[in-house]
C-alpha cells in the first residue's frame, strides 16, 4: 500500500514529468535460471504454511492441507494458479512476486479474506466472483489497464491497485464498505466515480495525471488524502472533507495555500515542491491548531532570496513564527521557542 508511508521521515518526492515518464512502461523482470524446487508438505495439519522464496514453479501436493488457513507463496517461479481446490478453509493467500499472467482457479476458496497478487504480470482483473468474503485485495505492480469485475466483492475493505496502467476510476460503485483505496502511479486523469464510497477513510492517487481536485463531496469520512506528484494548480474541492488529518499535495503546481482553513482536524500538511512564494499564505493554516507537521521545503519561500541556489537560513524560524505550535517542519522536529 504503497506509496504514502512518509510520516516521521524525509519524503521522497519527484517531479511530475519524471513520475509520468517512468510509469509509462513496466520493466520486464530479470529472470534468473529456473532451478525449480518441488513443493513438499512437512506437516499436513499446519494452519499457517509459508513457502516464501523457495523457487517453486508449480503448485502441487497440497491436498493434505485441509486445515490450512494462510498460505504464503511469495517470491517463487509460479506461472499458473492451480492445485488449490481442496484448500476451502483458506483465509489468506499470497502470490506476491511471481510470474502469473492470469487470475484463475480460485472459485473453491470461498472463505478467502486476503489475496495478494502484487508484482506479477497480470493483464486483467477477472475470476474473483466467488470470493465474496474477500476484504483485502492487492494487485500492485501488474499490467492492469482497467478496474473491472469487482462488483461482487462487497466486503472489500482495502483495494490496492498501485503501479498499473489504469486510466479511469470506474466500476467501484458496489464497494460501499471500502475504507482504503490506493491507485498511485497509474495514468488516471480525473477524480471521479467515488460517490458511493462513503466509508472511505484513506485515498491515495499519487503520481497520476490529475489536474483538479474534485469528486470528493460524498467522502465525508475521508481521513487521509494523498494526491502528490500530479498536475494540481489550485487547492479546492475539500469543502466536505472536514475529518481529514493528513493532506498530501506535494509535488504539484500550486501557487497559493487556500481553502484548507476549515480542516480543523488536520495534523499533517505536506505541501513541499510547489510554487508558494508569499509567506502570507501561511495565514491560511493559523486556524489549524491540531497541526503537528508541515512540509514546505522547495517552495519559493524556502529558497534564499539572495541566493536561489540554496535554502533561506531563516526559513525554519519564519515557519515557526507563523505556526508556533508546530512540532515538525519538513523532516526535522521543530524546536520550541522559549517563553
**pLDDT score of 336:** 62
- What's the CA angle centered on 271, arms 268 and 272, to 5 degrees? 120
Q: Which domains does the chain have, with CATH numbers?
A: 35-187 (3.80.10.10), 189-339 (3.80.10.10)
Contacts 24+ apart (CB under 8 A), 246-250: 246/7, 246/270, 248/4, 248/6, 248/206, 248/224, 249/274, 250/11, 250/13, 250/274, 250/295
Alpha-carbon distance of 35 to 5, in angstroms, equals: 36
Q: Are 200 and 220 in contact (CB under 8 A)?
A: no
- Whole-number pLDDT of residue 84: 96
Q: How far, in Å, are 98, 229, 278, 322 from residue 300 at the CA level?
A: 45, 17, 8, 16
If DSSP codes are grouped into helix, strand and coil, which group holds residue 22?
helix
Adjacent-strand bridge partners of 180: 158, 202
- Tell me, what's the pLDDT at 309? 84
Q: How does strand 246-248 pair with strand 224-226?
A: parallel
Measure the CA–CA gap between 140 and 97, rounded to whole angstroms: 10
Residue 21, classed as helix, strand or coil, is: helix
Q: How many CB atoms lie within 10 A of CB 318?
A: 16
Around Cβ 271, how many Cβ atoms within 10 Å?
A: 24
Assigned C-alpha cell, 218: 460524498
Q: What are phi and psi of 70, to 5 degrees?
A: -130, 130
pTM of the model as a whole: 0.88
What's the distance, Cα to Cα, between the start and end of the chain in Å? 43
Q: Which three cell numbers stand for residue 265?
A: 482536524
**Cβ atoms within 10 A of the Cβ of 64, count?**
13
Residue 328 makes CB contacts below 8 A (sequence gap 6+) with 292, 293, 294, 334
Which cell numbers hold the place of 247? 493532506
Q: Each residue of 196-226: pLDDT tens digit?
A: 999 999 999 999 999 999 999 999 999 999 9
Under a CB-based contact definition with an 8 Å cutoff, are residues 176 and 196 in contact?
yes
70 CB burial (10 A radius; 0-12, 13-18, 19+):
middle
Please report which helix (H) or strand (E) contains residue 319, including its range.
Answer: helix 315-322
Q: Which of 150, 158, 161, 214 is nearest to 185 (CA)?
A: 161
- CA–CA dist 69, 93 (Å, integer): 8
Blockwise average pLDDT, block size 10, the chain, 339 residues: 43 39 44 66 88 93 93 97 96 98 98 98 98 98 98 98 98 98 98 98 98 98 98 98 98 98 98 97 97 97 90 95 96 72
> Residues 6 or more apart from 40 whose CB is under 8 A from it?
61
CA distance 220 to 95: 34
Amino acid at each position: 500500500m504503497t506509496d504514502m508511508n512518509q510520516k516521521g521521515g524525509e519524503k521522497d518526492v519527484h517531479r511530475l514529468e519524471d513520475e509520468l515518464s517512468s510509469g509509462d512502461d513496466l520493466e520486464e523482470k530479470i529472470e534468473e535460471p529456473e532451478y525449480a524446487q518441488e513443493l513438499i508438505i512437512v506437516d499436513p495439519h499446519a494452519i499457517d504454511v509459508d513457502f516464501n522464496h523457495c523457487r517453486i514453479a508449480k503448485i502441487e501436493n497440497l491436498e493434505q492441507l485441509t486445515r490450512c488457513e494462510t498460505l504464503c507463496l511469495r517470491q517463487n517461479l509460479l506461472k499458473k494458479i492451480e492445485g488449490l481446490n481442496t484448500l476451502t478453509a483458506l483465509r489468506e493467500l499470497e502470490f506476491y512476486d511471481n510470474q502469473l499472467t492470469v487470475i484463475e482457479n480460485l472459485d473453491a476458496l470461498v472463505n478467502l479474506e486476503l489475496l495478494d497478487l502484487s508484482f506479477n504480470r497480470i493483464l486483467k482483473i477477472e475470476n474473483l466472483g466467488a470470493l465474496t468474503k474477500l476484504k483485502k485485495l492487492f494487485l500492485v505492480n501488474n499490467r492492469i489497464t482497467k478496474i473491472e469485475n469487482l462488483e461482487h466483492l462487497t466486503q472489500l475493505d482495502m483495494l490496492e491497485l498501485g503501479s498499473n496502467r489504469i486510466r479511469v476510476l470506474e466500476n467501484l460503485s458496489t464497494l460501499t464498505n471500502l475504507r482504503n483505496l490506493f491507485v498511485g502511479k497509474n495514468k488516471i486523469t480525473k477524480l471521479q466515480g467515488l460517490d458511493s464510497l462513503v466509508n472511505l477513510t484513506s485515498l491515495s492517487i499519487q503520481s497520476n495525471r490529475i489536474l483538479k481536485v474534485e469528486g470528493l463531496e460524498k467522502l465525508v469520512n475521508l481521513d487521509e488524502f494523498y494526491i502528490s506528484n500530479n498536475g494540481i494548480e489550485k487547492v479546492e474541492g475539500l469543502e466536505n472533507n472536514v475529518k481529514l488529518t493528513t493532506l498530501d499535495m506535494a509535488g504539484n503546481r500550486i501557487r497559493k495555500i487556500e481553502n484548507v482553513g476549515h480542516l480543523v482536524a488536520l495534523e499533517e500538511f505536506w505541501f513541499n515542491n510547489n510554487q508558494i512564494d508569499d509567506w502570507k499564505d501561511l495565514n491560511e493554516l493559523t486556524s489549524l491548531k491540531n497541526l503537528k507537521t508541515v512540509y514546505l521545503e522547495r517552495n519559493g519561500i524556502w529558497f534564499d532570496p539572495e541566493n536561489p541556489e540554496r535554502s533561506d537560513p531563516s526559513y525554519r524560524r519564519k515557519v515557526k513564527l507563523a505556526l508556533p505550535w508546530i512540532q515538525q517542519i519538513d523532516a526535522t522536529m521543530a524546536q520550541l521557542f522559549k517563553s
